Structure formats: structure tokens, C-alpha cells
Homo-oligomer: A and B are copies of this chain.
Amino acid sequence: MIIGKVIGTLVSTRKLNNLVGSKFLVIESASNMGTDKRIVAVDQVGAGIGDFVLVALGSAARIGALKEASIDAAVVGIIDDENDILDTF
């Protein structure tokens, strides 16, 4: 998984039916994580803008409730203490 910060949301009205109800978050990856730059991930834990989060990539994003959604990235946890991860940004 990678660490990132939620920096925005995204609205798509015309999308696959299996994505209806999904909340799309724009994530800024921590600069020294395996995947740099940004990614769009579906929220699974109620994350909001400014939160530092754990993002699962690939098929891991669909484990559980989103098994039939066309997604390759999901926010799966919110990091408790941002001080623990500041050196990764």
C-alpha cells in the first residue's frame, strides 16, 4: 500500500453502473512512496480532504464490498498520527 494525502474529489455523472455511489478522491502520493504523483482512489473509510491515508492498489482495492466495481485503487485506512509519516512526504 502507499501513503497519500487526499487533495480533492472528482465528479463523474456518466460512468459505469458499478461505480454509482462511489466517492472518488484525488490522492497525492507521498513523494518517496513506490508510486509517486497522483492517483484517483475510491473512498472506503470516510476519508476527507486533508486526511493522510493508506491506499491499496490493484485488485486489492476490490476486496470486500467493492468486488464488482471497476476500480484499481481504494482508500482503506486513515493514518492516526501524521507525524509518523511526515518524513515520507
> Which residues of A line the B interface, CB within 8 A?
1-3, 8-19, 24, 26, 29-30, 32-41, 44-46, 54, 56-64, 68-74, 76-81, 84-85, 88
Contacts and interface: CB of A to CB of B under 8 A. Distances in A.
B69 A63 contact: yes
Given A32-B38, A76-B70, A85 B10 contact: yes
24 contacts: A1-B24, A1-B73, A2-B39, A10-B79, A14-B45, A15-B45, A15-B76, A15-B77, A16-B44, A16-B76, A16-B77, A19-B76, A33-B39, A34-B36, A34-B37, A40-B54, A57-B72, A58-B58, A58-B59, A58-B72, A60-B61, A60-B71, A70-B74, A70-B76
